[in-house]
Amino acid sequence: AQTVTQSQPEMSVQEAETVTLSCTYDTSESDYYLFWYKQPPSRQMILVIRQEAYKQQNATENRFSVNFQKAAKSFSLKISDSQLGDAAMYFCALYNFNKFYFGSGTKLNVKP
Amino acid sequence: DAGVIQSPRHEVTEMGQEVTLRCKPISGHNSLFWYRQTMMRGLELLIYFNNNVPIDDSGMPEDRFSAKMPNASFSTLKIQPSEPRDSAVYFCASSGGGVGQPQHFGDGTRLSIL
């Protein structure tokens, strides 16, 4: 079975600071993909970052980077220099067999 | 390029009525997904299509729900008869271009059943 767990329902960060959101997953496959999506109050689901499991190098997109630990099945998202616009729900997702498995989400608050 | 287009954006209807949600995927994408999002259950996959063919409908809650994809550019999710517990945000997403490509979501339909 494929599962994705986000153990932090809610987190807060001060503007300009760095925050890390946790995600663990379970799969018996060796080839898969991992994603982080952002859902602001407007409810759009926006792709933040994508990681290919067979690549050891951690993906980065501007202020967003991941710490991918394949053996530990961990995929955390680091947001540097947090901005007010980063406030949103963040969902971790696992792709396998053409299906996406989503975690329950982490609500990120950004304090001015 | 236009993104995934869903309509309507909001729907309010009375219990027992038929509800039809519509989705136009991104041109060229060959996979389409329908999700339901609620506070209690999070984001649930209802059904997905590959090349217009339903592949996995195990997430469809019951027979009142049905989905079709008559062609590559259009899909519907129908609820008949609707019930208050169907109230949720329904998302359509599409993906294409090979294995492991991200899903692109529409803006969702907020459905309220009174």
Q: Which amino acid is at B15?
A: M
How many CA within 13 A on the CB side of residue B18? Answer: 6
- Separation CA A6–CA A77 (nearest Å): 11
User: Touching check for B105 and chain A: CB below 8 Å?
Assistant: yes
Which chain A residues are Cβ-neighbours of B58 within 8 angstroms? none
Closest CA to B35 of A93, A3, A31: A93
Q: What is the pLDDT of residue A30?
A: 84
The stretch B41-70 carries a mean pLDDT of 93
Q: How confident is the model at residue B1 (pLDDT cuts 50, 70, 90)?
A: low
Q: In this model, does residue A25 exceed pLDDT 70?
A: yes
CA distance B81 to chain A (A): 26
Q: Do A45 and B55 touch (CB under 8 A)?
A: no
pLDDT for the residue numbered B6: 97
Render pLDDT for A70-92 as a digit per residue (tens, 0 to 9).
999 999 999 999 999 999 999 99
pLDDT digits (tens, 9 = 90+) for B24-35: 999 999 999 999
